[in-house]
Amino acid sequence: MAEHAYVARALEEAHRRNPTEPEFLQAVDEVFETIGPAIKRHPEFEQGRILERLLEPERIISFRVPWLDDRNRVQVNRGYRVEFNSALGPYKGGLRFHPSVNQSILKFLGFEQIFKNALTGLSLGGGKGGSDFDPKGKSDNEVMRFCQSFMTELARHIGESTDVPAGDIGVGAREIGYMFGQYKRLRNEFTGALTGKGLLWGGSEIRTEATGYGLVYFAHEMLATKGDSLAGKTCIVSGSGNVAQYAVQKLIHEHARVVAMSDSGGFIHDPEGINAEKLEWILELKNVRRGRISQYAEHFRGATFTAVNGKTNPLWSIKADGAFPCATQNEISFEDAKRLVKNGVKFIGEGSNMPIVNEGVAHLLDHGVLLAPAKASNAGGVATSGLEMAQNSQRQAWSRETIDQELRRIMHDIHAACARTAAEYGQPGNYMLGANVAALLKVGRAMLEQGVV
Residues whose CB is less than 8 angstroms from the CB of residue 143 and which lie 6 or more positions away in sequence, other chains included: 135, 174, 175, 178
Give the closest residue to 120 by CA, choosing from 366, 418, 348, 450: 418
Among ligand 2IT, ligand NDP, none, partner that 93 touches (CB below 5 to 8 angstroms by kind): ligand 2IT
Among ligand NDP, ligand 2IT, none, partner that 195 touches (CB below 5 to 8 angstroms by kind): ligand 2IT
Position of minimal CB gap to ligand NDP: 241
Strand pairing partners for 24?
none
Of residues 36 and 239, the one with the C-beta less far from ligand NDP: 239
Q: Which residue stretch of 37-45, 249-257, 271-279, 320-328 sits at the interface with ligand NDP (rule: CB under 6 A)? A: 320-328
Burial of 38 (0-12, 13-18, 19+ CB in 10 A): buried
Chain residues that interact with ligand 2IT, rule: CB under 6 A: 92-94, 113, 116, 166, 168, 195, 353, 381-382, 385
Instruction: Transcribe 86-149 into DSSP letters.
Output: -SSSSEEEEEEE-TT--HHHHHHHHHHHHHHHHHTTSS--EEEEEES---TT--HHHHHHHHHH
Residue type at 364 in one-letter notation: L
Active site residue 116: no
Distance of CA 331 to the CA centre of its chain: 13
Contact residue for ligand NDP among 352, 377, 392, 436 (CB under 6 A)? 352
Of residues 357 and 447, the one with the C-beta less far from ligand NDP: 357
378 is a site residue for ligand NDP (CB under 6 A):
yes
Among ligand NDP, ligand 2IT, none, partner that 92 touches (CB below 5 to 8 angstroms by kind): ligand 2IT
Among ligand NDP, ligand 2IT, none, partner that 177 touches (CB below 5 to 8 angstroms by kind): none
Give the active site residue among 107, 128, 138, 233: 128
Site string for ligand NDP, 257-286 (x = CB under 6 A): ------xxx---------------------
Identify whether the C-beta of residue 340 lies closer than 8 Å to the C-beta of residue 363. Answer: no
Identify whether the C-beta of residue 271 lies closer than 8 Å to the C-beta of residue 265. Answer: no
Among ligand 2IT, ligand NDP, none, partner that 242 touches (CB below 5 to 8 angstroms by kind): ligand NDP
Residues whose CB is less than 8 angstroms from the CB of residue 19 and which lie 6 or more positions away in sequence, other chains included: none
Identify whether the C-beta of residue 376 lies closer than 8 Å to the C-beta of residue 354. Answer: no
177 is a site residue for ligand NDP (CB under 6 A):
no
Contact residue for ligand NDP among 239, 266, 360, 434 (CB under 6 A)? 239
Give the closest residue to 108 by CA, choosing from 124, 88, 94, 123: 94
Residues that bind ligand NDP (CB under 6 A): 167-170, 172, 211, 239-244, 263-265, 326-328, 351-353, 378, 381
Catalytic (active-site) positions: 128
